[in-house]
Amino acid sequence: MRWQKALVAAAALGWVGSASAASFVLTAQRVDLDADRGVVRAWQVRITDGLRVVTAPELVLDRGAGLGTLSGGVTATGPEGHLRGRTARIRFTRSLELVQVEADGDARLQRGRWTLSADQLRLDTRSGVATAQGQPARLEGEQVTAIGTRVVYRSRQEEAELGSPARFETQEGALQGSSATFRLRGQTARVAGPVAFRFAAGQGSAREAVADFARGRVDLVGQVRVRWRSSVLEGQRVVVWYREGRVLVEGPSRMRVEEEDLPRTP
């Protein structure tokens, strides 16, 4: 009965979409309704727009502002994946279209084999784009983890853009640059420089890099320097097969048997 009363209260304010509006339905175990201000406070909440379901222990919803604030542990499930956080804000239009979910506090979005995590995570439901930032943001898969101060994850295109610094970590080593574009389907990345890398086969720097994490290959171009034991290898194009521990130099190169102050990061 309490669930039914909550639904009736929401419908009285027009929060249940009509046939011509978005299917926006709020149900709760208990509701405190301020009809004059158009504000609802509800507990043990479930919100759906027909495609997504958002649940939380507590909600404050302001119809006029098109904003709802959820707290106590929030989950949202829909075509974009499974999102959770300690608190969240939902935004919706005057026509009751749910357009955005912003999760804070150990926020995570899981979709298939990939998990995006950060302090703050904003999901645009119209474009399917999730923007994560803070602590820093991490996009984790089975073979590689992509890390950036800001990660823009385009779930429908299966692509991600990493802000500076952009870092990729595998079991065999790491690759870092100023920014990167990551194609999740093929697990390939284009990393803008300056680039630093570290694998068992060697470590060093380059102007830019293209990585194929599915094959265990990194192509380094433009004044590439590789430290291997006490030697420094220099060339314009170097391929590192990091799972096999091989380094292939394409074109003119030189090797110097001496120590040099090459970067020891990432």
pLDDT of residue 258: 61
In contact, 62 and 89? CB cutoff 8 Å = no
Secondary structure letter of residue 163 according to DSSP: P
262: helix, strand or coil: coil
181 and 264 assigned to the same domain:
yes
pLDDT of residue 4: 47
Query: Which of 68, 101, 127 is the C-terminal boundary of a domain?
Result: 127
The total number of structural domains that make up the chain? 2
2 and 118 assigned to the same domain:
yes
Q: Residue 44 belongs to a domain with what CATH number?
A: 2.60.450.10
Domain assignment present for residue 254? The answer is: yes
105 and 180 assigned to the same domain:
no
Q: How far apart are CA 160 and CA 129, in angstroms?
A: 9
121 and 47 assigned to the same domain:
yes
Query: Which of 72, 105, 127 is the C-terminal boundary of a domain?
Result: 127
Q: Any idea what the Cα angle at residue 79 is, between residues 130 and 103, rounded to 5°? A: 40
pLDDT of residue 264: 58
107 and 35 assigned to the same domain:
yes
The secondary element (H helix, E strand) that includes residue 7 is helix 2-12
46 and 112 assigned to the same domain:
yes
- How many CB atoms within 10 Å of residue 26? 23
121 and 168 assigned to the same domain:
no
Domain assignment present for residue 123? The answer is: yes
76 and 16 assigned to the same domain:
yes
Q: How far apart are CA 201 and CA 181, in angstroms?
A: 24
93: helix, strand or coil: coil
**Taking the model in full, what pTM does it have?**
0.85
Q: How far apart are CA 149 and CA 167, in angstroms?
A: 10
118 and 176 assigned to the same domain:
no
114 and 232 assigned to the same domain:
no
Domain assignment present for residue 218? The answer is: yes
Domain assignment present for residue 141? The answer is: no
pLDDT of residue 181: 98
Query: Which of 127, 152, 181 is the C-terminal boundary of a domain?
Result: 127
What are the mean pLDDT values of the chain's consecutive 10-residue runs (266 residues total)? 47 44 79 87 92 95 92 95 96 87 95 95 94 92 94 95 94 96 96 94 94 96 86 89 90 69 58
Q: How far apart are CA 199 and CA 4, in angstroms?
A: 60
pLDDT of residue 124: 95
Structural domain that includes position 198: 164-266
Q: How far apart are CA 51 and CA 59, in angstroms?
A: 20
Domain assignment present for residue 206? The answer is: yes
Domain assignment present for residue 139? The answer is: no
Domain assignment present for residue 5? The answer is: yes
pLDDT of residue 140: 96
110 and 187 assigned to the same domain:
no
For the chain, how long is the longest CA-to-CA vector?
81
7 and 122 assigned to the same domain:
yes
Dihedral (C-alpha) 10, 13, 14, 16: value to the nearest 10 degrees?
0
Domain assignment present for residue 154? The answer is: no
